[in-house]
């Protein structure tokens, strides 16, 4: 008995685990879809702003590419939801068929009872059955049997009614699931149409870029010059900071050792330096998506955003540099123990050199720019002379 009970409890636990896992997976899928839809909405706003401002096709192509990838992800998530819903509909149909079969069996049993009662409907027949008993005990048992027979008829009728109600409920749930499935299929169709439009738009832009190679090369040459100017300024500042550190032992102070350790502990979780934006320029050496022979080198990332967007400190630290850089507007450099974060293309600055800042402190605002890239933040991160990929340190969006 104990073994059977244990076996039943194990099965019940496994069934509950499967149900909870299914619900958890579905909730994660819904959250993933919601996050993707928000990301598409942000990219759409940025693309709209870029188009109105007549910014570079290169930047628009990068944003379109990001939106295309998000649309593909959304379609994939919708496909999973469709498969899950179709599976649930199949289960509902099976359950409904099982209930219908159960109702038919109940009705057959009920019909037999009713026919039996009708055949022996005369009261005299039932009385004769009782009075034909050999003794009082048998008569009592026969009387109880007749009473229970009547009760069975009532119970059977009630069972049919309850099962019919259950059937109606399951049919209503099936109808809801069918509507849900139709909604998912409609969403998928619309998203595929939008994806096709984005791919066509991206193709048109890329074809146009191919016809403007000379112009683009000049733009990239200017951009590389701007980055070189920035690197030169940062190198000068780093030399000063490293020299000062050697003479004062600044980075070895317990408070700065802890700050460095805390900064490293937050790798992959640092808040973004702007609340809204999309990475359109990646870290390191890369080749242009259209012109494979054109190389772009960057020690940071470019985050396309909107004019006047607040630029925020990603971690506690001290401002060690506020300086103008040719092609980069204003730059703010914040030291976090051994690490530095660099924020460029600011139109205005809210902090002064030597100021202590906290995570989220507004350092300044993104500048309005008339170049092909439009408003964006150039963001770098380094440890002494070693530049690190900021994207790996920022929290995933």
What mean pLDDT is reported for the chain?
77
Tokens 């738009």 belong to: 201
Q: pLDDT digit string (tens) for 300-339?
A: 999 988 899 999 999 999 999 898 888 888 999 999 988 9
Domains defined for the chain, CATH in brackets: 29-210 (1.10.287), 218-392 (2.70.70.10)
Tokens 């980075």 belong to: 251
pLDDT score at 134? 54
Beta carbons of 312 and 293 less than 8 angstroms apart = no
Say which range, 2-11, 106-115, 173-182, 198-207, has the weakest mean pLDDT. Answer: 2-11
Which helix (H) or strand (E) segment is 148 a member of? helix 136-210
For 386, the token pair is: 């070693």
Q: Is the pTM above the cut of 0.75?
A: no
Q: pLDDT digit string (tens) for 271-285?
A: 999 998 888 888 887
State the Cα–Cα distance between residues 227 and 380, nearest whole angstrom: 11
Q: 61-64, long-range: CB within 8 Å, 24+ apart, which pairs?
A: 61/202, 61/205, 61/206, 61/209, 61/289, 61/290, 62/280, 62/281, 62/289, 62/304, 63/278, 63/280, 63/304, 64/198, 64/201, 64/202, 64/205
Confidence category of residue 54, pLDDT binned at 50, 70, 90: very low
- Residue 369 backbone class (left: φ over 0; alpha: ψ -120 to 50; beta: rest): beta
Pick the most confident of 56-65, 112-121, 289-298, 317-326: 317-326
């Amino acid at each position: 008995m104990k073994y059977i009970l244990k076996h039943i409890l194990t099965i019940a636990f496994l069934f509950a685990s499967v149900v909870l896992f299914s619900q958890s997976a579905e909730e994660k899928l819904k959250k993933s879809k919601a996050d993707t839809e928000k990301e598409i909405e942000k990219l759409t706003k940025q693309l709209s702003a870029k188009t109105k401002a007549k910014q570079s096709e290169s930047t628009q192509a990068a944003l379109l590419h990001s939106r295309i990838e998000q649309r593909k992800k959304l379609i994939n998530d919708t496909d999973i939801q469709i498969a899950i819903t179709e599976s649930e509909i199949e289960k509902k149909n099976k359950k409904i068929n099982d209930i219908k079969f159960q109702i038919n069996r109940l009705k057959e049993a009920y019909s037999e009872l009713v026919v039996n009662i009708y055949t022996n409907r005369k009261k005299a027949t039932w009385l004769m059955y009782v009075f034909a008993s050999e003794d009082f005990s048998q008569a009592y048992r026969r009387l109880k049997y007749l009473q229970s027979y009547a009760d069975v008829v009532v119970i059977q009728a009630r069972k049919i009614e309850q099962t019919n109600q259950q059937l109606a409920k399951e049919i209503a749930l099936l109808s809801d699931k069918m509507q849900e499935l139709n909604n998912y299929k409609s969403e998928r169709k619309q998203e595929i149409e939008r994806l096709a439009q984005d791919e066509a738009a991206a193709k048109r832009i890329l074809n146009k870029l191919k016809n403007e190679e000379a112009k683009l090369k000049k733009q990239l040459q200017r951009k590389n010059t701007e980055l070189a100017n920035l690197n030169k300024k940062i190198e000068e500042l780093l030399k000063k900071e490293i020299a000062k550190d050697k003479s004062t032992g600044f980075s070895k102070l317990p408070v700065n050792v802890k700050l460095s350790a805390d900064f490293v502990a937050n790798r992959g979780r640092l808040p973004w330096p702007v609340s809204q934006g999309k990475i359109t320029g990646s870290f390191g050496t890369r080749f242009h998506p259209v012109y494979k022979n054109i190389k772009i080198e960057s020690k940071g990332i470019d985050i396309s955003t909107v004019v006047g967007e607040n630029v925020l400190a990603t971690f506690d630290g001290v401002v060690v540099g506020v300086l103008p850089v040719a092609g980069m507007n204003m730059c703010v450099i914040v030291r976090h123990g051994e690490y530095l974060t660099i924020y460029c293309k600011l139109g205005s600055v809210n902090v002064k050199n030597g100021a202590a800042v906290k995570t989220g402190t507004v350092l300044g605002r993104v500048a309005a720019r008339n170049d092909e890239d439009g408003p964006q933040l150039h963001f770098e991160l380094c440890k002494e002379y070693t530049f690190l990929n900021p994207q790996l340190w920022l929290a995933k969006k």
